[in-house]
Amino acid sequence: MNTFGNILRLTTFGESHGPAIGGVIDGFPAGVKIDFDLLQSMMERRRPGQSAVVTSRREPDDVQFLSGIYNGVTTGTPIAFIIANTNTRSEDYGQLADAFRPNHADFTYQAKYGIRDYRGGGRASARETAVRVAAGALAKQLLRQYGIEVCAFTAQIGEVQAGVAEGSCRNEVYCPDPAAAEKMKLAIADARANGDTLGGIVQCTVTGCPAGLGEPMFAKLQAMLAGAMLSINAAKGFDYGDGFAAASMRGSAHIDEFVADENHRITTATNHSGGIQGGISNGAPIQFRVAFKPVATMMRSIDTVNTRGEKVTLQPRGRHDVCVVPRAVVVVEAMAALVILDAVMMDRSHGATRFV
Amino acid sequence: MNTFGNILRLTTFGESHGPAIGGVIDGFPAGVKIDFDLLQSMMERRRPGQSAVVTSRREPDDVQFLSGIYNGVTTGTPIAFIIANTNTRSEDYGQLADAFRPNHADFTYQAKYGIRDYRGGGRASARETAVRVAAGALAKQLLRQYGIEVCAFTAQIGEVQAGVAEGSCRNEVYCPDPAAAEKMKLAIADARANGDTLGGIVQCTVTGCPAGLGEPMFAKLQAMLAGAMLSINAAKGFDYGDGFAAASMRGSAHIDEFVADENHRITTATNHSGGIQGGISNGAPIQFRVAFKPVATMMRSIDTVNTRGEKVTLQPRGRHDVCVVPRAVVVVEAMAALVILDAVMMDRSHGATRFV
Amino acid sequence: MNTFGNILRLTTFGESHGPAIGGVIDGFPAGVKIDFDLLQSMMERRRPGQSAVVTSRREPDDVQFLSGIYNGVTTGTPIAFIIANTNTRSEDYGQLADAFRPNHADFTYQAKYGIRDYRGGGRASARETAVRVAAGALAKQLLRQYGIEVCAFTAQIGEVQAGVAEGSCRNEVYCPDPAAAEKMKLAIADARANGDTLGGIVQCTVTGCPAGLGEPMFAKLQAMLAGAMLSINAAKGFDYGDGFAAASMRGSAHIDEFVADENHRITTATNHSGGIQGGISNGAPIQFRVAFKPVATMMRSIDTVNTRGEKVTLQPRGRHDVCVVPRAVVVVEAMAALVILDAVMMDRSHGATRFV
Amino acid sequence: MNTFGNILRLTTFGESHGPAIGGVIDGFPAGVKIDFDLLQSMMERRRPGQSAVVTSRREPDDVQFLSGIYNGVTTGTPIAFIIANTNTRSEDYGQLADAFRPNHADFTYQAKYGIRDYRGGGRASARETAVRVAAGALAKQLLRQYGIEVCAFTAQIGEVQAGVAEGSCRNEVYCPDPAAAEKMKLAIADARANGDTLGGIVQCTVTGCPAGLGEPMFAKLQAMLAGAMLSINAAKGFDYGDGFAAASMRGSAHIDEFVADENHRITTATNHSGGIQGGISNGAPIQFRVAFKPVATMMRSIDTVNTRGEKVTLQPRGRHDVCVVPRAVVVVEAMAALVILDAVMMDRSHGATRFV
C-alpha cells in the first residue's frame, strides 16, 4: 500500500536513515521534457535548513533519476529516482531503540510489524515527503502544459491566520499575507524559545481545471484529494469549498448560482462548492484546506514508556521543525498535482465523445 | 471507479429512477451467518419517511440478495444485492431534463459525460447510499464478532451542537444529547418553514480496535477514512482526533502520553490523536468527524440556466430532506465499517509473525 | 477478485442456482448506443440448447439491464445487468451436497471456504460465462466503432483439427472448415454415445488493431490475454503467434521481417509473433489459441469420495455438454474484446503526444 | 502497469543501459530474515556469462537493498533494491537508434510512445528479469518456511525434449535428464555455429501447496500464473496439467479420481488437472509449462527498415544468448513464487473460518 493513484501511480520507499529514499512513477506520459528547474525549486521549498523558521538539518535532497528519462525526455517507462540519505546522525536516535515517543508512529509500527527501524522515525519519517514532492513536480509541470496550475500557501500557523488568499508567497512561511507572515514567524520563534511546537493550516487552489474531471462514485475528486492529503504526515483534517463552515450555514447562503456569459458559457457566480459538484470539477477553482497538528517532537524531556511498558524519560535530541506547515505547503501542492493529473488521464481514457 | 476497498471491495451501481440500485461485495469471508435484523435496522435508520425530521418520501428499501449467501451463511463468493426503485415519481423531475440545479451534479455530469439521467439526480442521487448501508451492515456485524464496534451520531445540525458524545441516540436526529436533540428538531422545523435547509456534522467512534490496523503509506487509516467519508454525498470535510482544532494548539497541549498498566499493557493517557498514529491504530478509540453541507434542494423557486446557457426558473417539486445529517449518521457508520474491516483483512494477510 | 480489467472493469457475481447471475461494467464510455442485436446474437451463440451438439438445457438468458443505460445509450455510470436463473432443476444435484465430483471445483471450494453452494456447481458453474459474453458484447461493438474486430472459431475438437482459419463459422460447431465441422459433429455424437466427453481448441484473431496497444511490463497484451483466457472454465492453455510450436523452431525460421510500403508504412512480412512484440501490438492481426479440457461431467456412474472421505458412487444426472468448445468460442471472443478495449482506453489515457 | 500482484506487489523499473534497474516489493511480511545465499544462488542461475551455453556478457548483478530490511530482517515496509548497469557497451547499439530489429520491441515501443531508449532494448531488455529473480528469491524463501517449494527446469530446447521431470538440474542447461542435457548443449553449439538461435520449454512444479489457494473468478491460480508467465520476455505460451494435450483427450482419460487414505485425507489418484481445480489448488503438485520462442537476435546480418521506412541492413553486434531457456528457468521459478505467495497472503486475509 505504498502506491498512490489509479493510472498515474507513485510508489514510494525508503526509511529516514537507510541508504536512500525514492519513488517510482508509473504511467507518466511519454515525450515530456523534464523541467529540472521546477523540480529543483519545489525540492528547495521542502528542504530542511532553507531558512530560520525550519529545522536546521541540512539535506541536499538531490534527486537522482534511474530510469524512464532519456536525453531529458520521458519515455513512457517507469520513472524511478532516489534521494540519498546523506546527513543522518543515527546517534541522535539511540535512545529510541527501546522507547516509544508520544504522538509518533514508534508504538504503532511496533504493534503492527513486531519490528521497526527506529532511526529517525524510519519509514514514518516526514522525510518520505521529499519523494512526493519530486513526483509532484513532474505532475505539476505537465498540468501547466494543460493550463492547470496548482498553488498552495500557509493559511494559518498556530493562532495566526492569513487575512488574504492571494499574492506572493515568497517569504519564509509561504504566506500571501505579509503582515500575517511576520506574526507567524514570531509565533514560531516564541514556540521554539519555549521548547514547544505549533500546528497550522495549508490552503490550496487549483485553477484552470476544465469541468468534467473526477470519477464518481468512490473516486470523487474530493475523495481522492482527501485521501491524498490525509496520507501526509501530521495532517489531521481536510475540507473543501466552505468545508466545515458549511455545517452551520443555511442552504440559501451556500448556493452557487449558475450564470452564463454572452457566449452561453456556464459558470457559477460564487464558489461555496470549492470547484467540485457531485465529485466532478465544475470549472471553478478547486479550493481545499489541510489541517496539520503541532510537531510531536519538542525540545523538552518527555516521559514515556519503553517496549516493556516501563517508564522512561527521553531527552531532547536532534534537529526538528517547530512547525511543519511552511515545509508542508509544497507537499500539499505535490499531492494535489498527482491527484489532478491522474484525474486528467482517467478522464481522457473514458471520454468517448470528447477524445476519440 | 465505482469500487471501494482493497481486499474487501464494494462495487455499487444504479440510478435513482432506474429499475434498481445495488452492490456487489467481493472478498467478504465465508462462513458468516448474516444478521438480517442488524441489516434491517441499519436500512431503517437511513430510510426516508422514517420520522418527521426527514423527507416524507417512502421507500421500503428491501435488500434482495442475489448471490454469495447460501442458507443464510456467506459462501466466500461475491455477495450481490439489489434494492428496487419502487416509489419513483419521475414526473417531479421533468423540468430538470434541460436545466442545471445549483449545487447539484447536473452540470458536472453533463460536462463529463455529455449525457445524463436527470431523473432524481440519477447516479448522483443520495439514494446510492442505501447500497453502502447494506454493505456496511455486513461489515459491521463481522467487526462485532471481532469485538470492534462502529458508532456514529449527530454532533451538530445547523448551529446547534451536541454537548456530549456518549449516550443513547434513539431519537429522531440520532443525537446523544437530549436537549440538543430537541433544539436540532426545532432548527429543522424552522428551516423547513422558511423553505430553507441545514448542514451539520456527524461524529464517529470505533472502539475495540487493536493496535496495528492500517497500512502506511498511502493507505493510512485516516487516509482511507477520509477518502471514504468524502465520497459520501454532501460531505464537505473530514478530521480526526483534535482535527482542525489541532492547527491552533501547541505541541505540549496536543500530546498523548503513553502509560502502562500493571500488566505493562501500553495505552495513551489522552486521545488527541484520535486513535491513529502514523496511519496505524494505537488501540485507543478511533474518532473522526464528517461535515455535511446544507441540502441543495430548497422548497423555493430557483433561478438557474439550462443546457443552452439560458436563464430559467425552477419550481420546487418533489419531497426532500431539510438536513441530511440524521440519515447520514448510519451512512458514515457503514463506510467506517467497510474501511475498518478491509484494514483487518489486510492486516491479517501480511502479519507473518502474528497470524501464521 | 471477481473483477476483471484495469480501466474498463467487469465485476461478475452469481451462482448457477441462485436467483440470478450478473455483472457490473465500470468505466464503459458514455454516449454509446447499445447494439442489442449484437448482444442477443452473442448470447445466442453461448446459449445451451441452441443445437444438437450442445447440452439440451434451455435457458433463455435474457439480459436485464439495471443501470448505466438511458434511452438505449450508455451514460458513463456503471452498467449493471442480471440474467435470471430460471431453468434450474436443483433436484438433479441433491447427491452432490455431500460428494466431490472429480475434475470439478467441489473439493477445492470446500477446502477454501469450508462451505459451498453445491447446486449446479454454484459459483464455479460455466453459467458465469454468460455474464462475460454480455459484457464482451458491449466491448465488441465499441471496438467495431474503432475499426477493431474480434473473431474466434473452433480450431479443434477432440482429435479433429480445422484445416483452415478463415471462412464462415455458421455451423453448429463454429468451425470455418466445413469438412472438419462435419467430423467434429460426428466426434461429439460418438463421444455422447459412449457417455464420454471431448476437449478442443479455440483460436481467436483480432484485426484492425493499431500498433501501440498494450502496457509493458506486467500488462503486456499477451499477459492480459493469457490471464483472461485461463480464467475461463475448463481452459488449460494459451499461446499466441507460433506459440508452443515456436519452442522447436530456429530463430531464422521464426523471424518476422519488417517491410515498408510505398508510403513508408511499416508492417511485418509474416506474423510468427502473432501481432504482439514486447507486449505491444505491432499492427498485424493478433492471433492466439486457447486449449480446453474435455468436459468433466460424463454420463456414466463415477466413483469418488464424500466430505468424510468415504467412497461413494455418483449416478449421471442433469443435462451437460459433451464438449464446451462450440459454446466457448464466443466466451473467448468476449474476453478478448474486454482485454482489447481496456488496452485502447489505457493507451488513450497515457498517450501524451498522440491524444492531447 | 509495471506492478505485479495483488497483496504482495512487485514494481519494477529500469532500462538496460540506464544507471540501474530495480524493484520495490510492497506487502512483504515483516520479521523475515533474508536468506542472502538463496538470493545469490538464484541471481547466479540467471546471470549471463555463467557457462558456455549462455551469453558471454558478464554482469555481476549485485542486488543493493535500499529499504525495508533492518539488520537483515524485513520490517514490513517496502523493500526497494537496485542492480547497477555496469557492463554496458552502448556503442554496440548505435546502429539501432534508427532501425527496428525484427522480433524485438523497437518498433512497437516507438509506435506506442513516439520515443524509445534504444540502447540494449531499453525497457524491453530481458535484463529486467534480474529484478524479478531478486524479488522471487525473497518470495521463494518465505514459501519454504510454509513448506511450499517451487522448482522449474528445462523440458525442451529446440527439438530436444527431456525424458524425465525429476532429478538434479545441476548442469549448464538445468535439465534433469542428463542424456537430454548433453543433446541440448550440442543443439545450442550447433545453432551458435550457424549464427542461429533456439527456443524451448520450461516446466515448473510447486509442491507442498495446501488445497484452497487461488481466488476465483478472474484471479484463478492458473490465470495468475498464465499472466505472470506471459509477462516474461520471449514467452509464447502457457499450459498447466495436461494442457494443450488435454484438447485431444477424452474425459474418461483425463479424470483425476478422488481417493482417501486411512485418515480420510482426500487426494487425487492422478494429476491431469495439474494441481488446480476451479482455479483453486487441490493439494496435488501444481504443474505448468512455459514455451519460449527462439532468441530474436542472431549473429547474422539482418535486413530490416528504419524509422523512415527505408531498407537497412543490421550487422551482428553484441553478445547474446543462443537460447534463453537455461537462464529463463529461474525467472519462471521467481514469477511462480511471487504468484503463490500472493495467493497465500490473499487466502489468509479472507479465510474467516481457518485463520481467525
Question: From the CA of D21, how many Å to the nearest CA of chain A?
Answer: 7
Q: Does the beta-carbon distance from C76 to B122 stay under 8 Å? A: no
Which chain D residue has the Cα nearest residue A80?
Answer: D13
Give the model confidence (pLDDT) of A282-320 as tens digits.
Answer: 999 999 999 999 999 999 999 999 989 999 999 887 778
Grid cell in block for residue B3 = 469500487
Best of D26, D347, D350, D353 to substitute, by most chain B Cβ atoms within 10 angstroms, is: D350
Structure letter (DSSP) for residue C53: T
Give the mean pLDDT of chain B: 93
Chains interfacing with D (3 or more CB pairs < 8 Å): A, B, C
What 3-state class would DSSP assign to D18? coil
pLDDT of residue C259: 95
Question: At C10, is the secondary structure helix, strand, or coil?
Answer: strand
Residue of D nearest to B77 (CA): D216
- The CA-based diameter of chain A, rounded to the nearest angstrom, is 73
Q: Is C97 on the interface with B (CB under 8 A)?
A: no
Residues in chain A within 8 Å Cβ distance of C349: 7, 27, 345-346, 348-349
Is it the case that residue C273 has pLDDT exceeding 90? yes
- For A80, the 3-state DSSP assignment is strand
Bridge partners of residue B270, in order along the sequence: none
Buried b vs exposed e over B103-139: b needs ≥16 C-beta within 10 Å? Answer: bbbbbbbbbbbbbbbbbbbbbbbbbbbbbbbbbbbbb
D93 pLDDT higher than 90: no
**For chain B, how many residues are written?**
356
User: Between A100, A231, A283, which is nearest B223 by CB?
Assistant: A231
When pLDDT is cut at 50, 70 and 90, the band that residue D355 belongs to is very low
Q: What is the pLDDT of residue B356?
A: 31
Kindly report the nearest CA distance between residue D12 and chain A, in angstroms.
Answer: 8
In this complex, how many residue pairs, one in chain A and one in chain D, have their CB atoms less than 8 Å apart? 146
Asked if the Cβ–Cβ distance from C291 to D244 is below 8 Å, we say: yes
Which amino acid makes up residue C24? V
- Angle among Cα B29, B30, B33 to the nearest 5 degrees reads 105
A75 CB near a chain D CB, below 8 Å?
A: yes
**Which of A326-340, C89-103, D278-292 has the least mean pLDDT?**
C89-103
What percent of chain A shows pLDDT beyond 70? Answer: 96
B219 neighbors B227 (Cβ within 8 angstroms): no
Say how far apart CA C229 and CA C337 lie, in whole Å. 11
For residue D10, what is the nearest residue in chain A, using CA coordinates? A11
pLDDT at A352: 38
The set of cell numbers assigned to D290 is 512455459
Query: What pLDDT does residue B177 have?
Result: 97
Q: C302-305 and C311-314 as β-strands: parallel, antiparallel, unpaired? A: antiparallel
Determine contact, residues A84/D126, Cβ cutoff 8 Å: no
Could you please report the per-residue DSSP string of A195-219? T--B-EEEEEEEESPPTT-SBTTTB
Instruction: State the cell numbers at D324.
Output: 534463453
pLDDT digits (tens, 9 = 90+) for A134-188: 999 999 999 999 899 999 999 999 999 999 988 889 899 999 999 999 999 999 9
* Distance of residue B66 Cα from the nearest chain C Cα, in angstroms: 5
**HEC profile of B337-348:** HHHHHHHHHHHH
pLDDT of residue C175: 97
Place of cell 532494448: D121
> Could you read off the pLDDT of A25-80 as tens digits, one per residue?
999 999 999 999 999 999 999 998 888 888 877 767 899 999 999 999 999 999 99
Q: Which of B76, B142, B350 is opposite residue D345, by nearest beta carbon?
A: B350
Q: Residue A277's closest chain B neighbor by CA?
A: B105
Q: Going along chain C, which residue ranges are E strands?
A: 3-4, 9-13, 20-26, 63-65, 69-70, 73-74, 79-84, 149-157, 160-161, 200-207, 235-240, 258-260, 266-268, 276-277, 280-281, 286-292, 302-305, 311-314
C-beta neighbour count of A136 within 10 angstroms? 29
Please identify among residues 14-53 of chain D the ones whose CB lies closer than 8 Å to any CB of chain A: 14-15, 18-22, 24, 26-27, 30-31
What is the residue type of C285?
P
Q: Which three cell numbers stand for residue D198?
A: 533456439
Q: Mutating which of C15, C62, C110, C345 best tests the B interface, going by the most B Cβ atoms within 10 A?
A: C15
Determine contact: C252 vs chain D, CB below 8 A: yes
- What would the pLDDT profile of B302-351 be if each residue is shown by its tens digit? 999 998 999 999 988 777 899 999 999 999 999 999 999 999 999 888 76
Q: What is the three-class DSSP state of C249? A: coil
Q: Please provide the average confidence, as pLDDT, over all residues in chain A.
A: 93
Identify the three-state secondary structure at position C106.
Answer: helix
Nearest-Cα distance to chain D for B291, in Å, is: 33
Chain A hits for C77, CB-CB cut-off 8 Å, are 216
**Which of C28, C71, C75, C110 is the best substitution to test chain B (most B C-beta atoms within 10 A)?**
C75
Question: Are D230 and C238 in contact (CB < 8 Å)?
Answer: yes
ipTM of the complex: 0.96
pLDDT band for position C224 (cuts 50, 70, 90): very high
Contact predicate B276/B241, CB 8 Å? yes
Which residues in D lie closer than 8 A to residue C251 (C-beta atoms)? 103, 191, 196-199, 294-296, 298
pLDDT reported for residue D176: 96
Is some CB atom of chain D closer than 8 A to the CB atom of C184? Answer: no
Angle at A138 between CA A148 and CA A66, to 5 degrees: 170
CB D118 within 8 A of CB C293: no
d(CA C109, CA C159) in angstroms, rounded, equals 32
Mean pLDDT of D314-343: 94
Check D27 against B350: CB less than 8 A apart: yes
Grid cell at residue C72:
438505449
The DSSP code for A320 is -
Which of A103, A223, A259 has the CB atom closest to B255's CB atom? A103
Q: Is B349 at the interface with chain C, CB within 8 A?
A: no
A64 touches chain D (CB under 8 A): yes
Which residues make Cβ contacts (< 8 Å) with residue D71, sequence separation at least 6?
A: none
Task: Give the model's pLDDT for residue B319.
Answer: 78
Cβ neighbours for A190, distance < 8 A, ≥ 6 positions apart? none
- Using the beta-carbon criterion (under 8 Å), do C226 and D222 form an inter-chain contact? no
Nearest CA-CA distance, residue B31 and chain D, Å = 7
Output the pLDDT for position B351. 60
> Stretch C171-180: mean pLDDT, rounded?
96
Question: For residue B108, which of D34, A216, A152 has the smallest C-alpha distance?
Answer: A216
D-chain residues near A109 (CB < 8 A): 76
Tell me what pLDDT residue B51 has: 85
Nearest CA to B21 among B69, B72, B93, B88? B88
Q: Choose among C86, C2, C79: nearest CA to C36.
A: C79
> Is residue A355's pLDDT more than 50?
no
Residue A345 with chain C: CB contacts under 8 Å = 349-350
pLDDT 10s digits, D39-86? 999 999 998 888 888 887 776 679 999 999 999 999 999 999 999 998
Instruction: Give me the pLDDT at residue B120, please.
Output: 83
CB contact under 8 A, D77 and A112: no
Give the neighbor-by-neighbor strand order of the sheet with B200-207: A160-161, A149-157, A200-207, A286-292, A235-240, B235-240, B286-292, B200-207, B149-157, B160-161
According to the model, what pLDDT value does residue C29 have? 93
- Please give the backbone phi and psi of residue A113, each rounded to the nearest 5 degrees, phi first: -105, -15
Of C10-14, C283-287, C339-343, D60-64, give the lowest mean pLDDT range. D60-64
Window C:108-167, CB contacts with D under 8 Å: 108-109, 111-114, 123-124, 128, 156, 158-159
Phi then psi dihedrals of residue B121, to 5 deg = 90, -10
Q: Which residues on D lie below 8 Å from B76 (Cβ)? A: 350
pLDDT one-digit tens code per residue, D127-153: 999 999 999 999 999 999 989 999 999
Would you state the pLDDT for residue D138? 98
- Per-residue pLDDT at C57 exceeds 70: yes
**Which of A76, A146, A348 is opposite residue C348, by nearest beta carbon?**
A348
Residue-level pLDDT at A260 = 93
Cβ distance D324 to D128 under 8 Å? no
Average pLDDT over all residues of chain D = 93
Instruction: Output the pTM of the full model.
Output: 0.96
Give chain B positions within 8 Å (CB) of C20: 66-67
Task: Tell me the helix, strand and coil percentages in chain C, rounded to 5.
Answer: 35, 25, 45
Percent of chain A with pLDDT over 90: 80
Instruction: Give the A window 293-332 contacts with D, CB below 8 Å.
Output: none
Instruction: Tell me which chain D residues have a C-beta less than 8 angstroms from the C-beta of A12.
Output: 78
Over residues C154-173, mean pLDDT: 94
Quick one: DSSP state of residue D170? Answer: -
Please tell me which of the candidates A124, A283, A351 has its beta carbon nearest to residue B278: A124
CA distance A68 to A175: 35
Question: Among B115-124, B127-136, B176-185, which stretch is predicted with the lowest mean pLDDT?
Answer: B115-124
- What count of other Cβ atoms lies within 10 Å of the Cβ of residue C68? 28
d(CA A266, CA A257) in angstroms, rounded, equals: 10
| Residue whose C-alpha is closest to residue A204's, from A233, A248, A174, A179 | A174
Comparing alpha-carbon positions, the chain D residue that sits nearest to C239 is: D237
Q: Chain A interface, mutation test: which of D17, D70, D123, most A Cβ atoms within 10 Å?
A: D70
Query: Could you identify the residue written with the cell 445540525?
Result: B157
pLDDT of residue B118: 87
Contacts of B346 in chain D (CB under 8 A): 7, 349
Residue D90, pLDDT > 70, answer no
| B218 and chain D in contact, CB less than 8 A | no
What are D250-263's pLDDT values in tens digits? 999 999 999 998 88
pLDDT band at A89 (very low <50, low <70, confident <90, very high): low
Over chain B, what HEC string results?
CCEECCCCEEEEECCCCCCEEEEEEECCCCCCECCHHHHHHHHHHHCCCCCCCCCCCCCCCCEEECCCEECCEECCCCEEEEEECCCCCHHHHHHHCCECCCCCCHHHHHHHHCCCCCHHHHHHCHHHHHHHHHHHHHHHHHHHHCCCEEEEEEEEECCEECCCCCCCCCCCCCCCCHHHHHHHHHHHHHHHHCCCCECEEEEEEEECCCCCCCECCCECHHHHHHHHHHCCCCEEEEEECCHHHHHHCEHHHHCCCEEECCCCCEEECCCCCCCEECCEECCCCEEEEEEECCCCCCCCCEEEEECCCCEEEECCCCCCCCCCHHHHHHHHHHHHHHHHHHHHHHHHHHCHHHHC
CB C338 within 8 A of CB A343: no
Q: What is the pLDDT of residue B143?
A: 94
Angle at C163 between CA C160 and CA C169, to 5 degrees: 90
At B354 the pLDDT is 39
Across the interface, of A30, A345, A355, the residue whose CB is closest to C353 is A30
The per-residue pLDDT for range B215-242, each reduced to its tens digit, is 989 999 999 999 999 999 999 999 999 9
**Would the CA dihedral through B88, B92, B94, B96 be positive or negative?**
negative
Tell me the three cell numbers of residue C345.
482506453
Question: Scanning every residue of chain B, which has its alpha carbon at the shortest distance from the alpha carbon of D347?
Answer: B349
